[in-house]
Chains A and B, each alone.
Chain A
Amino acid sequence: MDRFRMIFQYFQSNSESVMNGICGLLALASVKMYTSFDFSCPCLPQYNMAYGLGIMFVPPVILLLCGLILNRQSVLMLEEWRRPPGRRKKDLAVIRYMCSSIMQRAMVAPVVWIVVTLLDGKCLICAFSASMDPEKFAGFANVSTVQVQQLLAKVPCRDDELMTNNTSRKAVSRYLRCWSQALGWSILLILIIAAFLARWLRPCFNQATLLQARHWSNYIDIEQKIFEETCCEHSRLFAHKCILHFFESMRQEIKLHSFSLPREGEGAEAEEDLLRGITDQDQVNKLLKTWYYEKPPLDVS
């Protein structure tokens, strides 16, 4: 448990680490999902392509949306984008930076799914076996057109009675799998080259702007956290005071018990300071509304 807590603390140390951790977990989850999914090609002419391509593209969309949902920064970015300027100007560079970092992290799990699918080959074999040219394969060359479609559609199903021990089936399967694996490796190569170039070339363009955008996006995150903590603290004290007032107002009616409220003068004063003069529901509502509509300027001099 200690080990887990240490790893957890390391990742919690800042938002970026947390997001990298989530991104890695989603990638592992997508590999696990693929291996535990029971792929079952329908082996019928029209259904094969829909099933194969569906399995290849629908889960990545789901994983992309999960990556966006689980990332706290996406809500922050939307808030920062849509808020009224108020007394604090909006900086589009910061919003762009946040958007690009969110999208990069969210894209990792879908790409992992697609690459693993292609390297495994089952999806492509299922989707494209019916589109093969029968002339290339000895076992299918002399069959009538209607039947050949049906036969080719059955290629992904090894257990089908027509397909067991059929060498042409194995030839089609091998051919498609080879293309699928080549496509998978090529996609991986292109993406890695793009990532490498992006990392290498980024400091060549506008490094100062990048430092600023990164700093202010981190600031927005910290500010939101501290605001929520302050509000939590305020609401705790508010509730405490509210309940104390309620008990005090009930005190007159309680005559049977020798009831004295624990009230330290110093403590009550310190708490009132922490309440910062905001002591009723309307005031709290106004404060929260102003926080959204009119963020304070970035100037504490």
Chain B
Amino acid sequence: MDKFRMIFQFFQSNQESFMNGICGIMALASTQMYSAFDFNCPCLPLYNLAYGLGILLVPPFILFLLGFVLNNNISMLAEEWRRPQGQRGKDPAVLRYMFCSMAQRAMIAPAVWVSVTLLDGKCITCAFCTSVPVETLGNASHPLLSQGEIQRVLARIPCKEIYNGQQLIANEVAVRYLRCISQALGWCFVLLMTTLAFLVRSLRPCFSQAAFLKSRYWSHYIDIERKLFDETCAEHARSFAKVCIQQFFEGMSTDLVAARCHLPRKAPVDAEEAAEKLLGITDRGTMNTVLKSWHRCKPPLHLHPPALPTGNGWAGEGQPPTHPSAPRRETAAYYSSV
């Protein structure tokens, strides 16, 4: 159980690990969905192509979008993209990094579906059975068959029990041919995806690695900051509720004219602690203003006490203060040592 707890905590440790977990689960789910799905080729000339290509392409698109929908970072990305500038500048490199990392993870489940479908062969067999080269594989000179009839006969290839064109082209021959092409396509697709992934991973450090490190850091920062803000708000709400209820009870007890009614001699200790945790925000209007400013005007990434605009040269410049001043000097040192 310890092992499981460790794995669980590892995945929870940050959003990226969590998303890797979800991505793996979705890939498994896509294979499971494919094997549970009852493929049912219509065996009619025009319907075959639509059905086969539909099953090959529509579920991957659904899985791709699902990968985005399940990813909490998408609303974080949209928020960061649309928020007013306020006191904190926006860095398009961070937004690009977030989008790329989400898109990469969302592509895995669709790629698995397409590979499994091609390697299995049923979709391609259904979609392209009417394009089988009858001249090379069968008996093209079969008399008394118009083009339309030939198409109808070929369309029944995937449905063995109603196939009536053994003289035209043997069913096993056509199915083997189509399946071979499908599997070749499948393996090429897997090879292509793997090569792309390999190239992306190995060539990335060759291009602007420093900028990449910066973007990754600040995208993690935005994620952590949002989580901490939500936790702080929840903590505040809890303390607010405790004090509110405490005051309600006190108010009731002063209103009640009863024989043995008396005010409590001291407030319970936890209510006092709760009042301290309120951080001075003690009514609805103030809380609403806090939440509105959080969105409209995020605080600068600057942990020193706010300097006067005239006193500190660089804070007064037009440059958005994305990074604090002290690390900035450290960043210059980093570059020079590299």
Contact = CB atoms under 8 A, between A and B. Distances in A.
B161 A170 contact: yes
A272 B37 CA distance: 66
B302 interface: no
Given A207-B295, A277-B256, A300-B275, 4 more contacts: A120-B38, A174-B40, A185-B62, A226-B238
23 contacts: A3-B4, A6-B4, A167-B161, A185-B58, A192-B62, A196-B68, A199-B74, A202-B78, A203-B78, A203-B79, A203-B81, A203-B82, A207-B79, A215-B237, A215-B287, A218-B237, A219-B241, A230-B245, A269-B265, A283-B252, A286-B252, A291-B248, A301-B282
B65 interface: yes
A200 B82 CA distance: 11
B328 interface: no
Contact of A3 (B1, B65, B79): B1
Interface string A91-105: 000000000000000
A182 B68 CA distance: 23
A271 to B, nearest CB: 11
A263 B193 CA distance: 77
A261 interface: no
Nearest to B242: A226
Contacts of B329: none
Interface stretch (B43-51, B170-178, B311-319): B43-51
Contacts of A199: 68-69, 74-75, 78
B219 to A, nearest CB: 16
B241 A279 contact: no
Interface string A142-184: 0000000000000000000000000100110011011001100
A201 B78 contact: yes
A227 B285 CA distance: 22
Nearest to B260: A279
Contact of B162 (A171, A202, A227): A171
A223 B283 CA distance: 14
Interface string A190-225: 001101100111111001100110011011001100
B244 interface: yes
Contacts of A182: 50-51, 54
Nearest to A273: B264
A299 B295 CA distance: 23
Interface of A: 2-3, 6, 10, 14, 119-121, 167, 170-171, 174-175, 177-178, 181-182, 185-186, 188-189, 192-193, 195-196, 199-204, 207-208, 211-212, 215-216, 218-219, 222-223, 226-227, 230, 269, 272-274, 276-280, 282-283, 286-287, 290-291, 296-301
Report which residue of B79, B260, B284 has the largest number of chain A beta carbons within 10 angstroms of its beta carbon: B284
Interface residues of B, number: 74
A6 B292 contact: no
A192 B252 contact: no
Interface in B206-252: 233-234, 237-238, 240-245, 247-252
Contacts of B244: 223, 296, 298, 300
A9 to B, nearest CB: 11
Interface string B122-163: 000000000000000000000000000000000000010110
B301 to A, nearest CB: 20
A119 to B, nearest CB: 7
A178 B42 contact: yes
A182 B53 CA distance: 11
A208 B291 contact: yes
